[in-house]
């Protein structure tokens, strides 16, 4: 439905018609289509002054229907994560429903507004400050990998110490997976891994 003609313009059309102007002349003066002016004049003749108030309530799409299931899922995601915008919500909907037609980002934004959900803050989140070591051996990092399957089919584990400042590998040991600590019977732990 096209936009409603505002009440002051409706009054002007009514005055011009009562002054004897044709629909074409009124349309040219007010920069409206002739069809629109004729339609309004017909309504004014049928309903009189009751047709003067604008009909904004009849414009736009009705919003009484419940949201479609995927839109409802997007609304739930946004309600659970208020900092997620429609674009990010759509990314998670795509992960959950890779083969379904998703609502557009703009559709999700409109539904967020209809449901009065808070909008996500604009832009990206600020990067958290991390303090790294400023000189070698100030901080060491220990990384571990457990039961990594090699191409031969054998599983290995390893421990590695890395200097945070320089990124240098200080110590690495690779060993077959085994239980830690002394064996305590059939279900207990075995011998400790190297480096402990």
- pLDDT tens digits, one per residue of 134-178: 889 899 999 888 888 888 888 888 899 999 888 898 999 988 877
Assigned token pair, 124: 């990206």
Residue 194's pLDDT band, with cuts at 50, 70 and 90, is: low
Q: What DSSP element (H or E) covers 148? A: strand 140-149
Quote the DSSP letter at residue 123: S
pLDDT (tens digit per residue) in 153-165: 888 888 999 998 8
Assigned token pair, 67: 């949201």
Q: Give burial (CB, 10 Å; 0-12/13-18/19+) of 108.
A: buried
Q: Which of 59, 76, 66, 48 is nearest to 6 (CA)?
A: 59
What does the chain come to in residues? Answer: 196
Residue whose tokens read 């409802």:
72
* pLDDT > 70 fraction of the chain, expressed in percent and rounded: 82
Residue 193's pLDDT band, with cuts at 50, 70 and 90, is: low
Those residues whose C-beta lies under 8 Å from the C-beta of residue 43, and which sit 6 or more positions away, are: 51
pLDDT (tens digit per residue) in 53-63: 766 666 556 55
Q: What DSSP element (H or E) covers 100? A: none
Query: How far, in Å, CA of 192 to CA of 196, rounded?
Result: 7
State yes or no: pLDDT of 24 exceeds 60. yes
- C-beta separation of 56 from 2 below 8 A: no
Domain boundaries, the chain: 7-58, 69-114, 133-196
Write down the pLDDT at residue 150: 85
What topology is assigned to 7-58 in CATH? Answer: Arc Repressor Mutant, subunit A (1.10.10)
Residue 104's pLDDT band, with cuts at 50, 70 and 90, is: very high
Residue 185's pLDDT band, with cuts at 50, 70 and 90, is: low
Query: How far, in Å, CA of 28 to CA of 23, rounded?
Result: 9
- C-beta separation of 103 from 112 below 8 A: no
Assigned token pair, 137: 């051996």
Query: For helices 105-114 and 86-96, what crossing angle results, to 10°?
Result: 110
């Amino acid at each position: 439905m096209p936009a409603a003609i505002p009440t002051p313009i409706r009054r002007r059309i009514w005055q011009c018609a009562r002054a004897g102007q044709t629909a074409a002349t009124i349309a040219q003066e007010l920069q409206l289509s002739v069809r629109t002016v004729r339609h309004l004049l017909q309504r004014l003749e049928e309903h009189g002054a009751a047709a003067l108030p604008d009909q904004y309530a009849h414009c736009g799409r009705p919003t009484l229907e419940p949201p479609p299931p995927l839109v409802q899922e997007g609304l739930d995601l946004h309600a659970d994560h208020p900092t997620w915008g429609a674009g990010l919500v759509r990314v998670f909907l795509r992960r959950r429903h890779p083969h379904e037609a998703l609502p557009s980002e703009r559709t999700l934004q409109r539904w967020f507004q209809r449901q009065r959900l808070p909008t996500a803050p604009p832009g990206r989140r600020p990067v958290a400050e991390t303090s790294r070591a400023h000189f070698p051996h100030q901080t060491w990092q220990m990384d571990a990998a457990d039961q990594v399957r090699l191409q031969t089919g054998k599983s290995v584990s390893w421990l590695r110490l890395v200097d945070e400042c320089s990124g240098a590998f200080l110590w690495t040991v690779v060993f077959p997976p085994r239980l830690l600590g002394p064996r305590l019977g059939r279900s207990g732990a075995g011998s400790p891994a190297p480096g402990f």
